[in-house]
Amino acid sequence: MNGNNKKMELLGNAPISKALLALGLPTMIGMMINALYNLVDAYFVGGLGTSQMGAISVAFPLGQIVVGLGLLFGNGAASYISRLLGHGDKDMANKAANTALYSSIFVGAAVIIGIIIFLNPILKVLGATESILPYAVTYASIYIISSIFNVFNVTMNNLVTSEGAAKTTMCALLVGAVLNMVLDPVFIYTLNLGVAGAAIATAISQAVSTLVYLHYVFSGKSVFHFSFKECCFSNEIMAEIFKIGIPTLVFQLLTSLSITLINMRAKEYGDSVIAGMGAVTRIISMGSLMVFGFIKGFQPIAGYNYGAKKYERLHEAIKISVLWSTAFCIVFGLAAAVGSREIISQFTKGDAEMIRIGEKALRANGISFLLFGYYTVYSSLFLALGKAKEGFILGACRQGICFVPVILILPVIWGMNGILYAQVAADVISAGIAGIMAGRIHREIGMGRMELGL
């Protein structure tokens, strides 16, 4: 059996536990290591001072916006590709993959140019104080330009995972993250480049991850054959990409918006609050990305078996994914809550106010993180099945529909505590909505099983 047939066998016939481990675990590990980009930068930059730590916190939403472009085309195409492969239509899947990759590169480059042109006013809107702004400009000008590599990497991450080659994604992320950890202290301290050194280290690391994906493509291991000639901007392909990709982009934009709103609310309380909340965001983001990584393995299984009308396998995949992701969230969330003071202390030279704020926020967010796995499985499931409307509504809850009203209202009523606990309130509400919508999709799957006599 050749490599491509093995991937299809894994998606459609292997035991669900084996398939989830084979596809989800490597991607989960890769995303965990990729999250270290953010944590390592924060750890080493935190040693420079509170304003420098605040600078990378303010610039963080910009990186999320650029990554969102990779998700727009990559995740949008991945759902469609998995269903096409389930139907056995490899030719259309190849066209969708090429269209997504080249589109992401061109659109990403255009957006990056626009951000660089208006960088100063954008950073001020994102919450940069006068003391933070110079460091934020230095860091962001390098970080954003190099993000074109990340657009490519995120798109390829989704395309490669959609064909069942999760180990390649893990390797690409692993190589880049390890290199970043090695280069950060060298560029920041040894070469005395400060925040610019952190950005340069990240840029080099992302470029190396790009080389890993290019090697995979040119070695002929992929199901897809990449060439601009294979692009097909037909209404069908673009509609399918945007149907899932636009909601995914909106989720990413909402994440950036939520961080920006926190920074804007925290701005009136000083750099220490911005830096403390920035550290909490990056820590919780590490757990979130690990869950997303696992779900990246779940999505092609769900999409493939839904397309192939293997509803029994789909039901089992959902059940196991909820169980495993929730177990992980319990362990990660409790560890963050119990060790909150010690963890936050690693991101500052001794700013007592930053530690106090960060400790309270991390403890609360760690507890509410227990609900994140359940919520994420179902918000991702709708998109994997091509149900864009339902997926959009549920996916937009945690960082948008629920979070925005909370962060606007709660600080007015509760002061600084309203900032610290806004995400917690949004998490609880979002999990409740996920529970309601989960019942609907299970009824549909149950009807499909009945029609097939299962």
Q: How confident is the model over 322-379, as pLDDT tens digits?
A: 999 999 999 999 999 999 999 999 998 888 999 999 999 999 999 999 999 999 999 8
CB 159 within 8 A of CB 79: no
Tell me the average pLDDT across 66-91.
84
How many Cα atoms occupy the beta-carbon half-sphere of 329 within 13 Å? 26
Asked if residue 195 lies in contact with residue 117, where contact means CB atoms within 8 angstroms, the answer is no
Annotate 73-128 with DSSP letters as a single string: HHHHHHHHHHHHHHHT-HHHHHHHHHHHHHHHHHHHHHHHHHHHHTHHHHHHHTT-
Residue 277 pLDDT > 70: yes
Instruction: Please determine, for residue 7, whether its predicted confidence score (pLDDT) is greater than 70.
Output: no
Q: Is residue 1, in this structure, part of any structural domain at all? A: no
Tokens of 29: 């590990």
Q: Is 282 helix (H, G, I), strand (E, B) or coil?
A: helix
Q: How far apart are the C-alpha atoms of 97 and 198, rounded to whole Å?
A: 33
Say whether pLDDT at 11 is over 80: no
- For residue 203, the model assigns a pLDDT of 94
User: Quick check: 347 and 262 in contact, CB under 8 A?
Assistant: no
**Would you state the torsion angle of the CA atoms of residues 333, 336, 339, 341, taken in this order, to the nearest 10 degrees?**
-140
pLDDT, residue 253, reads 87
Residue 350: other Cβ atoms inside 10 A: 8
Asked whether residue 6 is domain-assigned, the answer is no
Burial of 99 (0-12, 13-18, 19+ CB in 10 A): buried
Q: Which domain holds residue 164?
A: 16-451
Does the residue 81 lie in any domain? yes
Instruction: Name the residue type at position 131.
Output: S
What six digits make up the tokens of 424? 């917690």
Q: What is the mean pLDDT of residues 117-121?
A: 95
pLDDT at 164 over 90: no
Which of 101, 117, 112, 350 lies closest to 229, judged by CA?
101
Confidence check: pLDDT of 113 > 90: yes
- Cα–Cα distance, 452 to 274 (Å, whole number): 55
149 pLDDT more than 90: yes
Q: Over 70: is that where the pLDDT of 449 sits? A: no
Question: For the residues 405-419, what does the mean pLDDT come to?
Answer: 91
CA Rg, the chain, in Å?
A: 21
Give yes or no for residue 1 having a pLDDT over 50. Answer: no
Handedness of CA 126, 127, 130, 132 (dihedral sign): negative
Q: Which of 60-74, 163-177, 203-217 has the highest mean pLDDT?
A: 203-217
pLDDT confidence bin for 14, thresholds 50/70/90: confident
Looking at residues 132-137, what average pLDDT do you find? 94
Give residue 386's pLDDT: 81
Measured CA to CA, the distance from residue 280 to residue 53 in angstroms comes to: 12
Give domain status of residue 296, yes or no: yes
pLDDT at 405: 94
In terms of pLDDT, which residue wins out, 399 or 333? 333
Q: Which structure tokens are listed for 243? A: 């149907």
Kindly report which listed range (4-13, 340-349, 439-448) carries the lowest average pLDDT score.
Answer: 4-13
- Which pLDDT does position 278 carry in this prediction? 87
Pairwise CA distance, residues 11 & 17, whole Å: 11
Q: How far is CA 105 from CA 17, 71, 119, 295, in A?
A: 35, 12, 20, 25
Distance CA 22, CA 20 (A): 5
Average pLDDT over residues 104-132: 93
The highest-confidence range among 35-39, 213-217, 252-256, by mean pLDDT, is: 213-217
**Rounded-to-integer distance, Cα 76 and Cα 109, Å:** 19
Q: Is position 331 within any domain?
A: yes
Query: Count of domains in the chain?
Result: 1
* Closest of 370, 99, 107, 391 to residue 243, by C-alpha: 391
pLDDT band at 140; cut points 50, 70, 90: very high
Q: What is the mean pLDDT of residues 309-317?
A: 89
- 353, part of any domain: yes
- Specify the pLDDT at position 452: 62
Identify the three-state secondary structure at position 309: coil
Is residue 3 one of the residues assigned to a domain? Answer: no
- The answer, yes or no, to whether residue 223 has pLDDT greater than 90, is no
Whether 432 is in a domain gets the answer: yes
208 against 447, higher pLDDT: 208
Instruction: List the one residue out of 235, 242, 137, 125 whose CA is nearest residue 194.
Output: 137
Lowest mean pLDDT among 24-33, 111-120, 146-155, 418-427: 24-33
